[in-house]
Amino acid sequence: MRDSVIAELKVIPLVPSATGVSRYIAAVIDVIKKAEGITYQVTPMATIVQGPLTRVLQLAQEMHEVPFTMGAVRVLTSITIDDRRDKYVTMESKVKSVLQ
């Protein structure tokens, strides 16, 4: 699978319940869980995904919409893409290469 990027996706809903954003984030992650063709890993600061670039951007947009459907009026979403086309890497191989 050559057409594959690793990306970090973070959705921050600015909601009245200020500190209790967990249920919003849980709903956002549900969208990732159901996404086909996407490998993912939830970290304490964001969710990291692997898949084709167009698919990842489409997924990010779907995730971004979730808090609005739950009542949020303002959402900040960050997408950071690492796209390497000289060799195929996976989320696991990337971590291994820096830990060894």
Q: Which residues bind a copy of itself (CB under 8 A)?
A: 6-8, 12, 14-19, 21-22, 25-26, 29, 41-46, 48, 53-54, 57, 60-61, 64, 68, 72-86, 91-92, 94-95, 97-100
Q: Left, alpha or beta for 86 (phi > 0: left; psi -120 to 50: alpha)?
A: alpha
Min CB(36)–a copy of itself separation in Å: 19
Q: Which of 87, 92, 94, 96 is nearest to 39 (CA)?
A: 92
> Which one, of 39, 49, 38, lies nearest residue 10 by Cα?
49
36 versus 45: smaller Cβ distance to a copy of itself: 45
- What minimum distance in Å lies between the beta carbon of 38 and a copy of itself? 14
